[in-house]
Amino acid sequence: MLAVAAASATAAFAAPAPKASVIRLTDLASGFKTISAHAYTVTAAAKRNQQSAAQLRSWGFGLTPSLKGAFEVQSAISVYKASKGAKLSLARSSSACKRSPSIELRTSAKIGDEVHVCKNLARSNGVVLQAYAVLWRRGSRRGSLFMVGVQGGVTVDQALALAKKQDARMR
């Protein structure tokens, strides 16, 4: 199996942008990768730091981030000896789409021989996250594309576009 993960956040803050001040991957020796990045609302920062939101506001902590686009994308391909293995793997993976809090979306997208698209919402640090999973099979290979962003900041069409690119490379 080959897996690639990338993470980034495009945040619109009042200048100077905090994101521009933190350590970047290019600042580190090779071999490091982004595992997580967070932007906190006043309420979430207060809870995390065990202090009141009023105190943070009195200090001038009041940036409200507007995150647009995906801040996590994971892409993977699994290769099986026969298409039966890929079918079984896809069936197992896509069964999660039918369990709450996930929902399976209908799609007319032409990706592989069989495709499933799932949507999930979750709350983290006071922010509602939206995730899409595109799971498909092409012959004896199974592909997956996961995309996560702030609710309203990512779309299923963005996830499908990346999955189509990956699927084209699987032919």
What would the pLDDT profile of 133-160 be if each residue is shown by its tens digit?
999 999 999 999 998 988 888 899 999 9
Per-residue pLDDT in tens (0 to 9) along the chain, 171 residues: 344 444 443 333 333 455 555 556 675 567 656 766 666 677 777 787 788 878 877 776 654 445 677 778 888 888 899 999 999 999 999 999 999 999 999 999 999 999 999 999 998 777 788 999 999 999 999 999 998 988 888 899 999 999 999 999 888
Q: How many CB atoms lie within 10 A of CB 148?
A: 21
Q: What is d(CA 71, CA 133) in angstroms, rounded to the nearest whole number?
A: 14
C-alpha torsion sign, points 48, 52, 57, 58: negative
Domain boundaries, the chain: 11-65, 72-169
The tens digit of pLDDT for each residue in 2-24 reads: 444 444 433 333 334 555 555 56
